[in-house]
Amino acid sequence: MTQSLLPRNEVLLDRVKKVNRLIGNTPLYLINRVFKKENVLIYAKLEWQQLGGSVKSRPAFQIIKEAILSGELNEQKRLLDATSGNTGIAYATIGAALGIGVTLVIPENASKERLNILKSLGAEIILSSKFEGTDGAQQYAKTIYKKYPNQYFYADQYSNEHNWKAHFDTTAVEILNQTFYEITHFVAGLGTTGTFTGVGRRLKKLLPQTQLIALQPNNPMHGLEGWKHLETAIVPPIYDNNLATKMKEVDTIAAFDLVKEVAEKEGLLISPSAAANLLGAIQVAKEIDRGVIVTTFADNSDKYGDVNKKIFGE
């Protein structure tokens, strides 16, 4: 921590230190029954087990922390960003703990659970067109920031380098330690691309032989909230196009089916995006004879009431 910044707002910086202890350090879960193959292991990182309830807590905290340290964000400014939900919940949770106001632009078809959670955390919500997805939400947020630059710190998670750096600094290090540096394949879906880029860069630096498998939906009209079909979406500026060893496609319906199977066989209530990551990991596992595959379960099923009804019934 930069000493010269401490006198400016010691109370806020003290809050940052306390919140820092609640971010990351999530467990690895060995997939035991949904998939089994001799000499091949699949692990999933249970990312909802941290403050904010998802993998997005890591970049949200690092973006906020660095903005406070640089003086770009304080209790007199509001954080502004576009989100499909999880990053917004992380911003709102961390913002509430720090005393920072949060304004979020979110597509109007976001689940009621997510919107209710955001409202309960005190976030200001601005709805954007459901037809334009997160790309439209980003454009809307940029328009607001251009109009009122002095009122907001625009976090811009899709372009902010601290998005992927959060995973470079924490997620990747945890995975390496938890697998005793025996990981052979890392598999992750592409949304903001921060998880894949940050973990991938760290693994390539320390274990160059690691295979990095990027996942995307198999068509533009997919149902995987937060994911991007890169050929038809705005590619996040933080995405490193040269990083992936392979790109694989995942089917939304197959991912939804896997949610129910994971609940019945593994005892985990996961989100469709988590199931999609597992689906990609299983594809990789079927192709190799030996290896340790790690993926992430971004969040659990708590924010997906309507989807859960379709999967599990009333």
Number of domains forming the structure of the chain: 2
Q: Across residues 217-239, what is the average pLDDT?
A: 88
In a domain? residue 253: yes
User: Taken in order 83, 203, 212, 300, is the CA torsion positive or negative?
Assistant: negative
Whether 134 has a pLDDT exceeding 80, the answer reads: yes
156, pLDDT greater than 80? yes
pLDDT digits 0-9 by tens, 104-120: 999 998 878 889 999 99
Q: What is the pTM of this model?
A: 0.92
Q: Which two tokens stand for residue 213?
A: 């498998």
Look at residue 85 and tell me if it is in a domain. Answer: yes
Residue 193's pLDDT is 96
Question: Who contacts 38 (Cβ-Cβ below 8 Å, separation ≥6)?
Answer: none
Whether 159 is in a domain gets the answer: no
pLDDT of residue 238: 96
Strand arrangement, sheet containing 101-107? 124-128, 101-107, 78-82, 152-154
To the nearest whole percent, how much of the chain has pLDDT over 90?
82
Q: Do both 203 and 301 map to the same domain?
A: yes
Residue type, 283: Q
Using DSSP, state whether 310 is helix, strand or coil: helix
Q: Are both 198 and 230 inside the same structural domain?
A: yes
Residue 125: strand, helix, or coil:
strand
b/e burial code for range 258-274 (CB count within 10 A of at least 16 → b): bbeebbeebebbbbbbb
Question: Phi then psi for 209, rounded to 5 degrees?
Answer: -80, -5
96 lies in the same domain as 205: no
Query: Do 184 and 286 belong together in one domain?
Result: yes
CA distance 79 to 67: 10
Residues 215, 75: Cα–Cα separation, whole Å: 38
Instruction: Identify the domain boundary among 109, 134, 154.
Output: 154
The more confident residue out of 166 and 11 is 166
- Residue 17, C-beta contacts closer than 8 angstroms, at least 6 positions apart: none
- CA 149, 114, 67: angle at the middle one, nearest 5? 35
Number of other residues whose CB lies within 10 A of the CB of residue 289: 8
Is residue 4 pLDDT above 60, yes or no? no
**13 and 83 share one domain:** no
The domain boundary, picked from 154, 178, 206, lies at 154
Cβ-based neighbours of 257, under 8 Å, separated by 6 or more: none
Could you tell me if residue 294 is inside a domain?
A: yes
- Domain co-membership, 276 together with 227: yes
pLDDT tens digits for range 116-131 = 999 999 999 999 998 8
Supply the range of the domain harboring residue 206. Answer: 3-50+164-312
Q: For the segment 29-49, what is each residue's pLDDT rounded down to a tens digit?
A: 999 999 999 999 999 999 999
Candidates 136, 144, 64, 56; CA nearest to 100 is 64
**Confidence bin at 314 (pLDDT 50/70/90):** low
Say whether both 301 and 213 belong to one domain: yes
Final residue of a structural domain among 154, 173, 192: 154
4-8, 280-284, 292-296: which range is least confident on average? 4-8
Smallest CA-to-CA distance from 91 within 139, 17, 156 is with: 156
The CA distance from 193 to 164, in Å, is 8
C-beta of residue 81 within 8 angstroms of C-beta of residue 236 = no
- Give the pLDDT mean for 266-295: 97
Q: Do 194 and 300 lie in a common domain?
A: yes
Q: Are residues 169 and 191 in the same domain?
A: yes
Query: Which residue shows structure tokens 């079927």?
Result: 286
Provide the token pair at 64.
């906020």
- Whether the per-residue pLDDT at 68 is higher than 80: the answer is yes
How many Å apart are CA 62 and CA 169, to the nearest integer?
Answer: 10
Average pLDDT score, the chain: 93
Residues 176 and 139 in one domain: no
Using CA atoms, how far apart are residues 231 and 302, in angstroms rounded to an integer? 30
Residue-wise DSSP of 201-250: HHHHHH-TT-EEEEEEESSTT---TT---TTTSPPPTT--TT--SEEEEE
pLDDT at 1 over 50: no
List C-alpha distances in Å: 183 to 125, 190, 203: 40, 20, 9
- Domain co-membership, 145 together with 286: no
